[in-house]
Amino acid sequence: MFKLKYSSIDLFSGVGGLTQGMHEAGFETKVAIEILDYAVKGFKLNHKKTHVIDKDIRKITSEEIREKLDGETLHLLAGCPPCQGFSSMRRLNGKNVRDDRNNLVLEYLRMVRELLPYTIMMENVPALKDYYLFKKVVSELKKLGYYIDIDVVNVKDYGVPQQRRRLVLIGSRLAPIKIAEPSKKKVTVRAAIGKMESITTTIDPLHKIIANHTVKVLDRIKLTPKDGGSWKDLPKEYQLKCHAKENVGFNDVYGRLRWDDYSTTITGGCLNPSKGRFLHPEENRVITPREAALIQSFPKNYKFPLDIPKQALALLIGNALPPAFSLIQSANIKTHLDKYLNENICLNKGASQSSA
């Protein structure tokens, strides 16, 4: 068996969740593209060997990227174009929201067309599947010779301790390829954060960051039943009027996580109890950034910038692709490359010998 070293590129890299999974699967991310300063700072803390191009992808040429690749073969081009324009909260009542970021899927296509990697991977929110530009991208990728597989999956089925439905696209120029099968390994909130040290004794600065609540909010938290309780369990005088409205998406706010179940989706509001079910299962506080990152399946030693606003930190964690999910998808692609690139090498070697 030939041993091949695989190179990858991470478009819209964020703080590096996708790259972390690719690295654990055996890829080396040569180039990452990210425009947000906070995300670039976080990415560089963990992936020092990757060339980070920190500007708008629409202003980046493929020549710039090839220069960073320095003649190396590109085996995998992966990326998660910003998806805020398709988020469920921005599409309440069935209304689509105009957002310039929706067009960034075309930049993904441009990079594939100009760099022609052996394999590709894209992750996004499920609503993208019905977007006309995404359908155009898929059509163009097939014209470029890529075998494509698309599905909406839930990361909880791939060893991540949270409910998070995502659209996944993978493709290959070598042969037909399928999205990785679910591992069906259930990882619970308890498994992710149950053994965390106290926030008062920890030496992890990321685990020391907690929200400062008003007395009334703290009382509301204390009254919320342990291990899965929510605002619905509170006395009426502690329930907010806005929560009583129907069909406004507030079912999980001020809710506690459940120890022996999956977390709800970790979002950019994960450090604010008014944004979702982000209260600790039994302690009277919201989860810390470290706990949110662990539920996202980041390694416990993964670094995040500490000199940024707490809301920016929450966005870095909540917007990331869970590394454990990226690992399984990337390992599936690596297995595909192992098989078909080695077959091509053997065929080419045999042809050379027969013609000698």
Q: Which residues contact 123 (CB under 8 A, 6 or more apart)?
A: 18, 80, 166, 167, 168, 169, 321, 326, 329
Q: Is 173 exposed, middle or buried, given 0-12, 13-18 or 19+ CB atoms closer than 10 A?
A: middle
CATH fold match for the domains 6-185+322-354 and 189-296: no
Nearest alpha carbon to residue 39 among 61, 19, 65, 21: 19
Q: Is the pLDDT of residue 1 over 50?
A: no
Q: Higher confidence at residue 330 or residue 90? A: 330
- The class (CATH top level) of 189-296 is alpha beta
**Domain assignments of the chain as residue spans, ordered by start:** 6-185+322-354, 189-296
Which helix (H) or strand (E) segment holds residue 148: the answer is strand 147-154
pLDDT computed for residue 22 by the predictor: 98
pLDDT computed for residue 55 by the predictor: 94
pLDDT computed for residue 97 by the predictor: 53
pLDDT tens readout for residues 47-100: 999 999 999 999 999 999 999 998 999 999 999 998 655 554 444 444 555 556
pLDDT tens readout for residues 127-149: 999 999 999 999 999 999 999 99
pLDDT computed for residue 86 by the predictor: 53
Round the average pLDDT of the chain to a whole number and report it: 89
Asked whether the beta carbons of 318 and 148 are under 8 A apart, the reply is no
Cα 245–250–251 angle (5° rounding)?
Answer: 105
pLDDT computed for residue 220 by the predictor: 87
Give me the active site residues, please: 83
What is the mean pLDDT of the segment spanning 151-173? 97
- The class (CATH top level) of 6-185+322-354 is alpha beta
- Minimum mean pLDDT among 88-92, 171-175, 243-247: which range? 88-92
Edge-to-edge strand list for the sheet holding 6-11: 51-53, 27-33, 6-11, 76-79, 119-124, 165-172, 147-154
pLDDT computed for residue 214 by the predictor: 86
